Amino acid sequence: MSTKKPLRPLYFGGAAAVAAVTVLGFAAPASAETPVEEPSSFTSAFTVMATPDNVVNTDAVATPGEAGATGQFTFRVNSDLEIICYDITLEGVTGEYMSPAKTATHIHQAAAGLAGPPRIAFPNPAPVGDGPRTSSGCLQGPFTTGILSNGVDTGDGFSLKTLEADAAAFASDAHTVAFPAGVVRGQLAQVPVGGLQTGGGATAAAPADVTDAAGVTDAGGVTGADTGAATNLAVGVGAVGLLALAGFGVSRRRSARS
């Protein structure tokens, strides 16, 4: 007999919502993605070790985030269903979130050292305070971010199959009032779904048309210093060990329900 986990509420930071109204001139849709239960299988999985030294500004100039802060992002994807499950932990992060997007925690289409637009906005890890901040759940597309480029939301039309095709061309980050360019950032590195192969994380060329809307400064879409390449390599090589230590959610969550 299986027991289904209750859905976690999908909530967004107030500062991000206010910024979206101020920067864009109108309130973006509250959400398009739908919180869903974890699917029975995944087509891919990814991990991110996010650090402050990987953050750059909109001009791709190194703009370090909060000293001592770290972020661990784990993503499990079923691209056939357009579902992404996430487990996010931020440590050493202080202060309130802030971003012109509808949340301050994202996946951006941006290779290491380059800027790029957010494609998915996740609920901000909580609680805001001195301890670790966490967030987990599953979202099903279509996705929206609240950031417009040429009048179109940067999540519009995005498919998880694009992420699967070139994971190193994507980065995860979070933004705060004190560190609007990004408090931490790291590139995605593919890891084995079934533990049978090593992950990737090779350097990727910049994706086409990855510039945020004119006048919109979401430093989240612009993180990732060149040092991210070295971080990716370390993550890729150590991916299997990381999964073993973390009890990776691909089997962890499903076994809990079976």
- Does the pTM of the predicted model rise above 0.85? no
Q: Where are the domains of the chain?
A: 31-257
- Identify the sign of the CA torsion 109, 44, 186, 29: positive
User: For residue 3, what pLDDT band results from cuts at 50, 70 and 90?
Assistant: very low
Could you read off the pLDDT of 75-131 as tens digits, one per residue? 999 999 999 999 999 999 999 999 999 999 999 999 999 999 999 999 999 999 989
The span from the CA of 56 to the CA of 80, in Å, is 33
Q: Which residue in this structure is represented by tokens 């006048």?
A: 215
Could you read off the pLDDT of 39-63 as tens digits, one per residue? 999 999 999 999 999 998 878 899 9
Could you read off the pLDDT of 137-180 as tens digits, one per residue? 999 999 999 999 999 999 999 999 999 999 999 999 999 999 99
Asked if residue 69 has pLDDT above 80, the reply is yes
- Give the helix, strand, coil percentages of the chain, each rounded to 5: 20, 25, 55
Q: Which residues of 149-168 are buried (b: 16+ CB within 10 A; e: fewer)?
A: beeebbbeebebeebeebbb
| pLDDT score, position 2 | 39
| pLDDT score, position 130 | 86
> What would the mean pLDDT of 211-216 be, rounded to a whole number?
37
| pLDDT score, position 57 | 85
